[in-house]
């Protein structure tokens, strides 16, 4: 198992080990195309990357803002479809919203 150096996701086989500026980085399949287009994203400080309010992981691209209970939530590309389908399952109880009962 490896951890993607871009989004922080754990992956088994569907990823790549990329050589960038003389260093090897493990990159998941989802982030590999973005790294090929812009290799500097793998070397960015993680603190500059946004966190997904649904899954808690840092991500570098393909995020959107979802409104729920009067709040704006940042949601990564992987979480967008399920969050838009049922935002309460993922966002209730966060950012001062009421938890689901």
For residue 61, the model assigns a pLDDT of 61
Based on the fold, state whether residues 75 and 33 are members of the same structural domain. no
Q: Would the pTM count as exceeding 0.95?
A: no
For residues 20 and 59, state if they share a domain: no
Contacts 24+ apart (CB under 8 A), 39-43: 41/6, 42/5, 42/6, 42/18
Residues 19 and 55 in one domain: no
Count of the separate structural domains present in the chain: 2
Query: What is the predicted pLDDT for the residue at 60?
Result: 65
Q: How far apart are CA 28 and CA 2, in angstroms?
A: 9
Residues 39 and 9 in one domain: yes
What is the structure's pLDDT at 37?
92
Q: Which domain holds residue 94?
A: 50-101
Query: 75 and 97: one domain?
Result: yes
Residues 36 and 68 grouped into a single domain: no
The one-digit pLDDT tens for each residue of the chain (101 residues) are 788 888 777 787 788 899 988 888 899 888 888 899 998 888 775 556 778 888 877 776 678 889 998 899 989 888 889 999 998 888 888 777 776 65
User: Domain boundary residue among 44, 61, 76?
Assistant: 44
């Amino acid at each position: 198992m490896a951890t993607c150096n871009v989004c922080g996701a754990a992956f088994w086989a569907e990823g790549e080990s990329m050589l960038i500026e003389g260093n090897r980085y493990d990159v998941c399949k989802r982030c590999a195309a973005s790294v090929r287009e812009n290799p500097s994203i793998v070397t960015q400080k993680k603190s500059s990357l946004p966190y997904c309010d649904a899954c808690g992981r840092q991500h570098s691209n393909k995020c959107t803002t979802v409104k729920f209970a009067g709040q704006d939530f940042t949601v990564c590309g992987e979480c967008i479809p399920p969050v838009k389908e049922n935002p309460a399952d993922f966002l209730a109880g966060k950012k001062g919203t009421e938890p689901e009962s």
